[in-house]
Amino acid sequence: MDKIRWGIMATGRIAATFADAVNYVEDAELYACASRDEDRAKAFAEKFGVKKYYGDYEMMADDENVDVIYIASPMAQHYEQAKMCLLKGKNVLCEKTITLNGSQLAELIDIADKQNVFFMEAMWTKFLPAFRQAKKWVAEGRIGTPKMIKADFSNLCPFNAEDRLFKSSLGGGCLLDLGVYPITFACDFLGYEPAEIISNAYIGKSNVDFDASIILKYEDSFAHLTAGFDIENQNPAFVIGDKGRIRLGDWFFCTTEAMLYDDDGNLLEHFRKPHLKNGYEFEIMEVHECLKQGKKQSDINSLYHTTATMKIMDECRKQWGLRFDGE
Ligand SMILES: NC(=O)c1ccc[n+]([C@@H]2O[C@H](COP(=O)([O-])OP(=O)(O)OC[C@H]3O[C@@H](n4cnc5c(N)ncnc54)[C@H](OP(=O)(O)O)[C@@H]3O)[C@@H](O)[C@H]2O)c1
């Protein structure tokens, strides 16, 4: 494989950011894009220099020149679109959260397995150098045994009944949109199978979760996690061990910084690495690496990891009595 030819499915906010990153990565070609509307597909193609555009998702999935499809639609659409692409033998990188629930995901994993294609959730945070550095410090024992995680992703989002964030029928709510980041963060340091999940949420007027608090309890450690649409926060994340702690930079899920402290609070190391483009290039490079090596999933962000975080989110929603419209 020389250049890897990407097809972008849906042309909304994140698709544009991702397109910039694909155009940055040397061995990537932004080959195709698809929208439900041909004019939107054409406008997107012109803006980002995409070779082919389709006013229909399935037509792009049928294009034999597309090596990998990036799905950038709302959560509720992921299952059908990913299923269609996987069944056509396409490699798929699907935006978070990969599906609405664990049973949809299990079915897709089964299809990906049978089709022998690559499948991954676009949990880009895990590939950021600052996050990798934090993992390295922990593996080297620099903070001793991790005992507690604190992480938040709260973002002031004024209510808009038409926005996917607030629409139950599109998989809206803060858990799947934002909470998936702190949950993934906690699991990557403390483990993907907490012994207990304790959670609560404010369910807003459009019947989706506007704010959520989650505790993951492990044998001898805890994660305290929050997410929400009602407050603006700096969104820090800490990994606290019995010999020191790590703080990711503000807005931890997209940070370029990680700080290592000893247990007296003295700063030992300050890691900084600017994004090469906008941060999404790192997950694209990982997909390329996997495709070139013939791997069907990423070790850093495996389908086991995604399944486990989805299971936690299913349990949270069960505790809140919350289901999506049509689920
Ligand atoms: N990784 C990240 O940092 C990040 C950041 C933001 C969002 N996301 C994820 O990316 C996905 C899309 O988020 P977004 O903020 O880009 O959403 P968005 O701006 O609302 O765009 C979603 C796009 O999906 C397509 N679509 C297909 N069916 C749709 C429907 N029934 N209603 C509305 N749009 C529909 C539309 O594109 P066409 O009209 O062209 O078909 C639309 O522009 C979500 O899964 C979200 O969680 C990830």
Same domain? 315 vs 238: yes
Please identify which of the residues 52, 90, 96, 126 carries the catalytic annotation: 96
With respect to residue 131, please indicate whether it lies within any of the assigned structural domains: yes
- The reply to whether 301 falls in a domain is no
Residues 130 and 114 in one domain: no
Q: In the listed set 62, 92, 124, which residue is the last one of a domain according to the structure?
A: 124
Active site residue 96: yes
Burial (0-12, 13-18, 19+ Cβ within 10 Å), 314: middle
Bridge partners for 262 per DSSP: 244
**101 and 132 co-located in one domain:** no
The token duo for 139 is 């593996």
pLDDT 10s digits, 240-266? 999 999 999 999 999 999 999 999 999
For residue 176 the two structure tokens come to 């799947």
Is residue 186 a part of any domain in this protein? yes
Nearest to 147 by CA among 83, 200, 217: 217
Single residue among 86, 102, 124 that ends a domain in this structure: 124
Among 111, 57, 56, CA closest to 89 = 111
> How far apart, in Å, are the Cα atoms of 289 and each of 108, 118, 152, 277, 326?
22, 11, 31, 18, 37
Same domain for 41 and 106, yes or no, is: yes
Q: What is the C-alpha to C-alpha distance for residues 203 and 194, in angstroms, rounded to an integer? A: 24
Residues 130 and 106 in one domain: no
State which residues form the domain around 65. Answer: 4-124
- For residue 161, the CA-to-ligand 1 centroid distance in Å is 15
Q: Whose CA is nearest to atom 6 of ligand 1?
A: 14
pLDDT at site 2: 83
Contact 244, 230 (CB under 8 A): no
Here the tokens at position 222 are 């805890």
Whether residue 33 is predicted with pLDDT greater than 80 in this model: the reply is yes
Q: What is the pTM of this model?
A: 0.98
Tens-place pLDDT, residues 116-173: 999 999 999 999 999 999 999 999 999 999 999 999 999 999 999 999 999 999 999 9
| Beta bridge pairs of residue 152 | 226
Residues 129 and 260 in one domain: yes
194 part of a folded domain = yes
Average pLDDT, the chain: 97
Q: Is the pLDDT of residue 1 over 70?
A: no
Distance between CA atoms of 218 and 189, rounded to whole angstroms? 11
pLDDT, tens digit (0-9, with 9 covering 90-100), for 190-212: 999 999 999 999 999 999 999 99
Contact 313, 180 (CB under 8 A): yes
Peptide bond into 306 cis (omega under 30): no
54 pLDDT band (50/70/90 cuts)? very high
Residues 115 and 147 in one domain: no
Structural domain contains residue 246: yes
User: What pLDDT score was predicted for residue 76?
Assistant: 96
- Amino acid of residue 245: R
Q: Is residue 296 part of a domain?
A: no
**299 Cβ neighbours under 8 A, 6+ residues apart:** none
Tell me the C-alpha to C-alpha distance, in Å, between residue 202 and each of 147, 226, 228, 321.
28, 12, 9, 11
232 φ, ψ (degrees, to nearest 5): -95, 125
Query: Residue 191's pLDDT is what?
Result: 98
- What is the DSSP code (8-state) at residue 206? T
Contact yes or no for 180/97 (Cβ under 8 A): yes
Q: Whose CA is nearest to atom 42 of ligand 1?
A: 12
Query: What is the CB < 6 Å shell around ligand 1?
Result: 10-15, 35-37, 40, 72-75, 77, 95-96, 122, 124, 164, 170, 177
The total number of structural domains that make up the chain? 2
For residues 118 and 129, membership in a common domain is answered with no
Handedness of CA 158, 280, 54, 48 (dihedral sign): positive
Domain end among 124, 149, 167:
124
Task: Give me the CATH number covering residue 212.
Answer: 3.30.360.10
Is 203 domain-assigned?
Answer: yes
H helix runs in the chain, sequence order: 13-24, 38-48, 57-61, 75-87, 102-115, 129-139, 174, 180-190, 281-293, 303-320
> What distance in angstroms lies between residue 205's CA and the mean position of ligand 1's atoms?
22
Residues 6+ apart with CB under 8 A from 4: 27, 28, 29, 67, 68, 287, 288, 291
279-325 tens-digit pLDDT: 999 999 999 999 999 999 999 999 999 999 999 999 999 999 999 99
163 CA distance to ligand 1 centroid (A)? Answer: 10
Does residue 199 share a domain with residue 60? no
CATH number, position 62: 3.40.50.720
Q: Which atom of ligand 1 is nearest to the CA of 44?
A: 40
Mutate to test the pocket of ligand 1, among 8, 9, 11, 14 (most ligand atoms within 8 A of CB): 14
Report which protein residue has its CA nearest ligand 1's atom 15. Answer: 13
Do residues 326 and 76 lie in contact, with contact meaning Cβ atoms separated by under 8 Å? yes
Share of the chain above pLDDT 70, in %: 100
Phi, psi at 140, each rounded to 5°: -80, 0
